Structures are given as C-alpha cells and as structure tokens.
Structure 1
Amino acid sequence: MADEQQNKHWYALYTKPRWEKKVYDLIQRRGVEGYCPMNKVRKKWTDRFKVIEEPLFKSYLFVRVDEQEKGVVRYVDGVVNYVYWLGKPAIIREDDIERIKRFLNEYSDVKVEQIGQPQPGDKVLITGGVFMEQEGTVLATDKKRVEILIESLGCKLVAQVDKDKVTVRKG
C-alpha cells in the first residue's frame, strides 16, 4: 500500500468551463483521489446575502494518480487535458496541495491573482524557441508577446517572444 502511494503524484486537470464540481464527482465515482479547492464566497442576491462555495481555480482541479490511472482520468467527461509543463503533465507537490487546504480552512472569500507576468524592466529567461536559455530585459509586453532586449551576444538584439516561453528572474 505504501509503495502504491509513492507511485502516485498530484496533477492539475484543465476542465471545461464550470465543470470543476462535475468532473470531481465523476473521478471520485471511479475511485480516483481528487481535490477541488472550494472557496466560500459571500454573494448578494436582490433580497439577501448568501455564502456559497465555488471552485477556487476556475476550470482546474487536482487528481492523485499513478501512470495507469492517468489515461482513465484523461477521458472522464468534462476533462479537457492535464496541465503540461515542459512537455509532460505537471506534477504538483504534495505540500502545495496541503498548503492550499490549510489556507482555505482558515480563510474565506479568497482571491486568486496571477503573478510573474513580465513587466518592462524585468530580467527574464527565455525557455523556448531559438533564443532558449538566453537572458534579457523586457522592453514591452502585449497580450501574448514580450519584446526582450538580449545583450549577451555582444550586440543588442530585440526579439518578440511568446509570453509562455518566458520566465521572470528573481533577484
């Protein structure tokens, strides 16, 4: 049993919009361990306020599976796909799942905000494409692309790079 648990990892699933609870229910019926973080939110109706539970991460939930179960989960109705990182389904650390659970037990009406979006002046590392592994400075951004100044080649090059191929450097 302990061996079996060691072979299981947490993965993030991307679902159809507003299908998080349905998919969670369907995977539980198949005996798969899952977690759909629910946020208690105070909503105003015309005549009253009501506290409801809604998924913390829109269109996402987590499953803990081994290699054999990955395929079964992928074809559950409402699942779009696993969330990928570097070409493979991204493994979520156990302590990150526990941290989310503890946080939601202590707080309600939690807001999820994206961090790490490149801003002009940020130092970044390019993670894909012809300039992969090059560092640069963000000059400008738009919805999908980042304009980066790359000085390491002995001259100044300005490249338009897709945002998903850039990570913000810390420090």
Structure 2
Amino acid sequence: MPWYALYTEPRHEKKVSERLEKLGVEVYCPLVTQIKQWSDRKKKVEVPLLPSYVFVNVEEAQRDIVFQVSGVVRYLYWLGKPAVVRNAEIVSLQKWLHDTVVTSFEVTGIEVGSVYTIETGPFSGLEGTVSKVDKNQMEIILEQLGFKVILKK
C-alpha cells in the first residue's frame, strides 16, 4: 500500500492521527521534542516535525475513509494526483527521528551552493545542496526528500 500525505487543520496533527488509528488506518505523524518557554516555566512538548501534515498508508480505493475524521482538510497533490510518498522515505524519516542527533560540529571549507554528501547517520549517502553557512549553523537542502535540514551548534 502506498503512503499519502494528508493536509490537516492547523495544530490538529496529533488528534487526526489518533482518530485515524481508531478507524484502523495506518498513520505516521513525525514528532520532535522541543523545550517551550513560558513566563513562569519551561516544559518539554512534542510538536509535529511537519506542521499540518500526517502520512497515511491506505489502499487507493479506500482513500476517502480519512475524510470521516474531523480535522482532515485534503490530500497533498502532485501533478493532479495524490502525492505518493515512498516507503523508503518514511523509513528514513522514522530512522532519522530515532537516531542520536549530533549536537556539536564545526563548519569549515563548505561554501553555499556546493553539493555535500552526508556520510553518516540516517541520511547517509544522500546528497544535498548547501544553502546557508554561518559560524553556528549550516542548512542543507535534501531535494530527494523535499525538505531542508538545519544543523545548529
């Protein structure tokens, strides 16, 4: 079965995921933990990696079942058809989110516009174009996956 990207109402990703699971739909909502600062405290919260998007694994004939859930807006389309996300891309995303993240690095000899091949980690072997290099940050665009990775020191 193919994976499809669903567009949800803002801040409804977790609720949509829970409701779709209750319907028996295989769903993946990538979450990351962030520390949020309020005036009186700090708290760790899980927020969606891709705001307003969840991935569902359903047969093409049963795609309409997702619209039984409130919070679902539409499928993401590519060239007039619902965009299919390859299983390998979902697995890479899951692996990336569960692997250890390197928090210390030094950017030397890398320039904007150069092609950089990732040598280790969940994205190993993927090539990306460097879009920004600062003293404390480097941005790499991974065109194969359709997103930008930001490495901060």
Please tell me whether residue 55 in structure 1 is matched to residue 48 in structure 2: yes
Q: How does 1:22-171 map to 2 (within 5 A)?
A: 22-106=15-99
Instruction: Tell me how far apart the structure 1 counterparts of residues 99 and 20 of structure 2 sit (CA, whole Å).
Output: 27
Change (3 A) 1:95 1:26: same
Alpha-carbon offset, residue 30 of structure 1 = 0.2
Alpha-carbon offset, residue 29 of structure 1 = 0.4
**TM-score of the pair, normalised by structure 1:** 0.56
Kindly provide the CA deviation profile for residues 132-161 of structure 1, in whole angstroms up to 9, marking residues without a partner as x: xxxxxxxxxxxxxxxxxxxxxxxxxxxxxx
Alpha-carbon offset, residue 75 of structure 1 = 3.7
Amino acid paired to 2:73: V
Instruction: Tell me how far apart the structure 2 counterparts of residues 56 and 70 of structure 1 sit (CA, whole Å).
Output: 23
Task: Please state whether the residue corresponding to 1:11 is helix, strand or coil.
Answer: strand
Q: Which moved more, 1:71-80 or 1:10-19?
A: 71-80
* Unpaired stretches in structure 2, ≥5 consecutive residues: 102-153
Alpha-carbon offset, residue 51 of structure 1 = 1.4
Maintained 8 Å contact 1:13/1:61: yes
**% identical equivalent positions:** 48
Alpha-carbon offset, residue 83 of structure 1 = 0.2
